[in-house]
């Protein structure tokens, strides 16, 4: 079963919500409500499961590189 996730990417003055399926980028949305709505519909269409939502600070993600 495909694992659909919503990830909140947080920057100092903005954030964006990414929807991924088994680690592959599917779409992005500007608000949490839009992202969750899209993710639920996407999971239903592909027979997957919405399994989690994560918050990922952009500064930490890129500072390690």
In a domain, 13, yes or no: yes
In a domain, 34, yes or no: yes
Contact 38, 5 (CB under 8 A): no
In a domain, 65, yes or no: no
Model confidence at 1, pLDDT cuts 50, 70, 90, reads confident
Contact 4, 49 (CB under 8 A): yes
pLDDT of residue 35: 92
Only one residue has tokens 């680690």, namely 23
pTM value?
Answer: 0.75
In a domain, 63, yes or no: no
Structural domain of residue 12, as residue ranges?
Answer: 3-58
In a domain, 46, yes or no: yes
Query: How many domains are contained in the chain?
Result: 1
Provide the CB-side half-sphere exposure for 1 (13 A, CA).
11
Buried-exposed string 15-24: b where 16+ CB fall within 10 A, e elsewhere: bebbbbbeee
At 3-48, the pLDDT tens digits run 999 988 888 888 899 999 998 999 999 998 899 999 999 999 999 9
In a domain, 28, yes or no: yes
Shortest CA distance to 58 belongs to which of 5, 12, 6?
A: 12
């Amino acid at each position: 079963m495909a694992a659909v996730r919503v990830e909140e990417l947080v920057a100092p003055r903005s954030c964006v919500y990414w929807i991924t399926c088994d680690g592959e980028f599917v779409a992005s949305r500007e608000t949490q409500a839009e992202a969750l709505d899209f993710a639920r519909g996407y999971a239903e269409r592909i027979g997957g499961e919405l399994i989690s939502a994560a918050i990922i600070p952009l500064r930490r993600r890129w500072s390690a590189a």
